[in-house]
């Protein structure tokens, strides 16, 4: 909670205070004094710092986000459809990616040093190193332009429309993000599962004559659950940054693309809002994974 508060302060200070005067940042150095003053009024820049912060943060909670500086529409009306689109993207990718990552990671751990593990470790190493946009471009080349031409390479959705109106547009962005997060989560899952499988209690279970399937399901898996939850959480956190690049590659109308547009247009209220949303997602996700992981670990849950 404290972190969230500090985050909002940082965003606020960065956007309102750092450049000396946001009005100049928006209007340029040689803006007329009258226009500067008008804009200062609109942004409440002429008031005290605490006052400004209070106006902004209380507005954030009450849904008064102010108006975009680019086209004077309310920030909420501009960002809301984008938020929904990004949420769909993150959710679909997160679910597919976590499932694949966890399943493949556990499988690699069970067959440690087997052919699947060997091959996947090399592929994973390469895949974790690739920047998102290189993966995206690779997919576009492969599936949407040069080699095959089966999928739309760039979304033609206008900002303000929802992604479910043309679900095929989701395929490439989702595929890209899945390719990016699966190796990441899979490596961690493999490490966590190997840790459990090579433990003394698993050896003890083997020496008790417990069947293989039971060792995996009853002995190893419950001990790998806490790290698994962390892994899934980390996958989602990764997506918060990943969408910024990937949405822009595919021209997907989500908040990542909105952020870049806002930055280009110096649309401060919109930047503030999107950044706070992303940071809040990050913090809440972190807390959530910590709590669930704690509940899944008797040793930490129950004191002696």
Residue (of 127, 183, 160) closest to 253 by Cα position: 160
Nearer to other proteins, 92 or 192 (CB): 192
Nearer to other proteins, 92 or 143 (CB): 143
Nearer to other proteins, 2 or 158 (CB): 2
Nearer to other proteins, 80 or 198 (CB): 198
Alpha-carbon 179 to chain mean position: 14
- In the complex, the smallest distance separating the C-beta of residue 129 from other proteins, rounded to whole angstroms, is 4
- In the complex, the smallest distance separating the C-beta of residue 164 from other proteins, rounded to whole angstroms, is 25
Residue (of 24, 246, 298, 8) closest to 138 by Cα position: 246
Q: Compute the distance between CA of residue 180 and CA of residue 94 in angstroms, rounded to an integer.
A: 11
For residues 239 and 143, the answer to whether their CB atoms sit within 8 Å is no
Residues in the chain: 304
- In the complex, the smallest distance separating the C-beta of residue 193 from other proteins, rounded to whole angstroms, is 9
Q: Compute the distance between CA of residue 272 and CA of residue 201 in angstroms, rounded to an integer.
A: 50
Q: Compute the distance between CA of residue 155 and CA of residue 252 in angstroms, rounded to an integer.
A: 6
- In the complex, the smallest distance separating the C-beta of residue 81 from other proteins, rounded to whole angstroms, is 20
Residue ranges of alpha helices (H) inside the chain are 2-12, 22-27, 33-42, 49-62, 75-110, 115-129, 132-139, 171-197, 200-207, 212-214, 221-250, 255-264, 268-295, 298-301
- In the complex, the smallest distance separating the C-beta of residue 9 from other proteins, rounded to whole angstroms, is 9
Q: Compute the distance between CA of residue 223 and CA of residue 115 in angstroms, rounded to an integer.
A: 25
- In the complex, the smallest distance separating the C-beta of residue 106 from other proteins, rounded to whole angstroms, is 14
Q: Compute the distance between CA of residue 170 and CA of residue 163 in angstroms, rounded to an integer.
A: 7
- In the complex, the smallest distance separating the C-beta of residue 241 from other proteins, rounded to whole angstroms, is 3
In sequence order, what DSSP letters do the residues of 126-153 get, joined into one string?
HHHHS-HHHHHHHHIIIIISSS---S-S
Nearer to other proteins, 140 or 174 (CB): 140
Nearer to other proteins, 163 or 274 (CB): 274
Q: Compute the distance between CA of residue 16 and CA of residue 116 in angstroms, rounded to an integer.
A: 53
- In the complex, the smallest distance separating the C-beta of residue 13 from other proteins, rounded to whole angstroms, is 11
Nearer to other proteins, 178 or 244 (CB): 244
Indicate the DSSP class of residue 164.
Answer: G
């Amino acid at each position: 909670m404290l972190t969230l508060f500090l985050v909002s302060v940082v965003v606020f200070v960065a956007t309102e205070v750092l450049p000396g005067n946001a009005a100049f940042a928006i209007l340029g150095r040689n803006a007329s004094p009258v226009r500067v003053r008008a804009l200062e009024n609109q942004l409440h820049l002429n008031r005290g710092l605490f006052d400004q912060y209070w106006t902004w943060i209380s507005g954030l909670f009450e849904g008064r986000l102010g108006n975009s500086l680019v086209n004077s529409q309310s920030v909420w009306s501009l960002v809301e459809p984008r938020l929904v689109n990004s949420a769909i993207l993150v959710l679909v990718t997160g679910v597919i990616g976590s499932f694949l990552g966890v399943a493949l990671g556990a499988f690699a751990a069970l067959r440690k040093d087997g052919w699947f593990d060997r091959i996947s470790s090399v592929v994973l190493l390469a895949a974790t190193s690739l920047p998102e946009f290189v993966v995206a471009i690779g997919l576009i080349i492969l599936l949407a332009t040069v080699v095959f031409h089966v999928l739309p390479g760039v979304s033609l959705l206008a900002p303000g429309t929802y992604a479910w109106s043309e679900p095929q547009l989701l395929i490439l962005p989702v595929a890209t993000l899945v390719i990016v997060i699966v190796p990441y989560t899979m490596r961690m899952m493999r490490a966590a599962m190997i840790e459990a499988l090579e433990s003394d209690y698993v050896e003890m279970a083997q020496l008790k004559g417990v069947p293989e399937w039971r060792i995996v399901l009853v002995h190893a898996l419950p001990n790998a659950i806490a790290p698994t939850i962390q892994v899934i959480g980390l996958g989602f956190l990764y997506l918060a940054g990943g969408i910024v690049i990937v949405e822009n590659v595919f021209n997907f109308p989500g908040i990542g693309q909105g952020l870049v547009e806002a930055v280009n247009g110096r649309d401060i209220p919109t930047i503030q809002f999107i950044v706070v949303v992303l940071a809040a997602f990050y913090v809440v996700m972190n807390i959530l994974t910590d709590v669930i992981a704690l509940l899944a670990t008797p040793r930490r849950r129950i004191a002696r």
